Amino acid sequence: MKLAFSTLGVPGLPVADVVRLAVVNGYQGVELRAHPEEPVHPGIGTDERAAVAAEFASGGIEVLGIAGYARVAAPGDDAPVLAEICELLELARDLNAPFIRVFPGGDTGSGAGEADATAARRLGTAAEYATDLGVRILLETHDSHRTGADAIRVLGRVGHHHAGSLWDVMHTWLGGESPAQTFPALSPFLGYVQVKDIVSAEDTTPVPLGEGVLPLGACVDALVRGGWDGWLCWEYEKRWYEGAAPLDTVLGPGREHLLGLLSEAASQS
């Protein structure tokens, strides 16, 4: 498997420094948070996009994905959501990224069925455009659809290769699923996996990989046993927790921890 990290751990860092962090710490890719407060977002122009792509290429680092904030299950008109997704897809194409991330963001409770239908309709429409651009739209296990079981209610309706899943290990665990349950559900749709570690179910402050409560070993074991060979992306959410250790101090040990889990899982499979 290949290893990446998200720029959510280094908010606002210039692209050259992001590439340097990846190279120095032995990561093959980076997930770019696409927000106006970041150096890379849909509002940047053609020349800026070309410069970003060249910067990553010169360092031999892949842009794994564009982490957007479109909410495909949210109530309201389809047009603004689809426009936001299309902008993310075009940015991903220009940066040679194979994936974009979208959130569910739907109503829960009595509105869950309508949220599923809304998300499936929008993803099905956007997937046609994504096909033309060679990019996949990944629905993250998050908020209203935090488990694998939730996500496949939507993705099963869509039935399109360019609409897939992004497995956020924290959210499926908080939703009561074990990795042994989540992986079989998501595997037909899986684009990549976001790993992280937190203090507890009640305190989601990020900690270095292996120092928290999330079942990372079980996650990696499920992936290896299932023959999945994609990306593990460390989403270290320092953007929301200023007291967390700087990402540059934990990236190297985090990579070693993931490599150790992969080696152990391979030896037991």
Q: Residue 110 has what pLDDT?
A: 59
pTM of the model: 0.97
Q: Residue 242 has what pLDDT?
A: 87
Q: Residue 171 has what pLDDT?
A: 98
Q: Residue 269 has what pLDDT?
A: 75
Rounded to whole angstroms, the Cα distance separating 52 from 31 reads: 13
Q: Which pLDDT tens digit goes with each residue over 115-131? A: 999 999 999 999 999 99
Q: Which pLDDT tens digit goes with each residue over 142-168? A: 999 999 999 999 999 999 999 999 999
Q: Residue 143 has what pLDDT?
A: 95
* Cβ 155 vs Cβ 131: under 8 Å: no
CATH assignment of 2-268, among 3.20.20.150, 3.30.420.40, 3.40.50.170, 3.10.450.50: 3.20.20.150
Q: Residue 223 has what pLDDT?
A: 98
Which residues in the chain show pLDDT less than 70? 110-111
Q: Residue 236 has what pLDDT?
A: 96
Ranges of each domain in the chain: 2-268
